[in-house]
Homo-oligomer: A and B are copies of this chain.
Amino acid sequence: MVGYAFMGAAHSQAWRTAPRFFDLPLAPRMRVLAGRDPGAVKAAAERLGWEQTVTGWPELLDRDDVDLVDICTPGHTHAEIAIAALDAGKHVLCEKPLANTLAEAEAMVAAAERAAARGVRSMVGFTYRRVPAVQLARQLVADGRLGEIRHVRVQYLQDWLVDPQAPLTWRLDKQLAGSGALGDIGSHAVDLAQFVTGQALTGVAAALETFVTERPYPAGGPTGGLVAAPGDTTGPVTVDDAAVFLARLSGGGLGVFEATRFATGRKNALRIEVSGSAGSLAFDFEDMNVLQFFDGQDDVQGFRRVLVTEPQHPYIAAWWPAGHGLGYEHAFTHQVVDLVGAIAAGTDPAPSFADGLAVQRVLDAVERSAADDSRWTAVG
């Protein structure tokens, strides 16, 4: 595994937990953790449960005891690591966003295709797909229970930047982060919509906004690659605080999207509501074990609050009895389960790098539309 921050912790817990609850066809071993700072990476390996450490990710590629590289670093490093790993014959799990630029993402997809031809697998980490309620949503759409999709309304609402004194970090710098709310959480919103509906977004009309354009550097000065001019205690925010856009689905439906870090009181509200000709559904990650489902066939109609914790629901049989909810990191465990299953079965796991690229193309169209007076902009 490369990287050991927030995502590294989630991935480690998943690798450790998956074989304890699921019958995996292969037994994963948490072999080597890679990071630049020798002391820090050793400490992280001990805490997160990795056997060994290296201080450069390229070392992983030469080792025979490494079959898979799990990339948990910031987005601008993904392309280089993933392409090298795939070309070295290592399976790759890469955190989202696939890359910070379209060109990088395209190169990664090309590498993934080359690798797949040799039986080497790749996957991008849109974990929200693997929340059981989201899987059930997808199944209901795929089974035709919603009929033709007329509308999706998707929001990813957080509030951690509401305070104008919240410090300037690398996530607010365009060079380092690529974009702001759009790439960080808007990418999840787009993938979720495309996954649940089984359709692509074909065009968008968008607006981006930065509400607070100048923020203080953290006490102690800039970190994580940020550089301040001498004497500066504040610096510019160069990414979007919020992104809103209209979209069209390939099946003709209309989409409305919003991603923001300024929705006071909403902590991690990734929400989707889908209106179809035969039924509807709604999901909010802040209530992640629940799917709302409206079936137009019912004689007594109402949105059903489905507590997605029953053995017949996706992934649940491996866990607890009905009514014993799952949490955030369980989706990462499911990701491991599906990835390991695909590797063993010799099939390509989803979401693929191509799926990741599809999301990037939407984000790119959003940025182009926003820069062009919100004019309707085709994706891709």
Contacts of A205 in B (CB 8 A): 205-207, 246, 374
How far is A83 from B362 in the complex, measured between Cα atoms in Å? 50
Q: Is the CB of B262 within 8 A of A322?
A: no
Question: Shortest Cβ distance from A268 into chain B, in angstroms?
Answer: 3
Contact of A325 among B21, B244, B288 (CB under 8 A): B288
Q: Is the CB of A265 within 8 A of B301?
A: yes
Q: Is the CB of A256 within 8 A of B258?
A: yes
Question: Shortest Cβ distance from A355 into chain B, in angstroms?
Answer: 23
Number of copies: 4
Chain A 36-73 near chain B by CB (<8 Å), digits 1 or 0: 00000000000111000000000000000000000000
Residue of A9, A310, A322 contacting most chain B CB atoms (<10 Å)? A322
Contacts of A324 in B (CB 8 A): 268, 327-328
Q: Is the interface of A mostly helix, strand, loop or mixed?
A: mixed
How far is A259 from B158 in the complex, measured between Cα atoms in Å? 25
Known: A9-B21, A16-B17, A242-B254. 20 other contacts (CB 8 A): A6-B320, A13-B17, A150-B162, A150-B211, A151-B262, A205-B246, A205-B374, A207-B246, A256-B256, A262-B277, A264-B294, A266-B275, A267-B322, A268-B322, A269-B323, A285-B323, A302-B305, A325-B328, A326-B327, A375-B376
Binding site for B on A (CB under 8 A): 6, 9-10, 12-13, 16-17, 20-21, 47-49, 136, 140, 146, 150-151, 153, 155, 157-160, 162, 164, 205-207, 209, 211, 242, 244-246, 248, 252, 254, 256, 258, 260, 262-269, 275-280, 285-296, 298, 300-307, 309-310, 319-330, 373-376
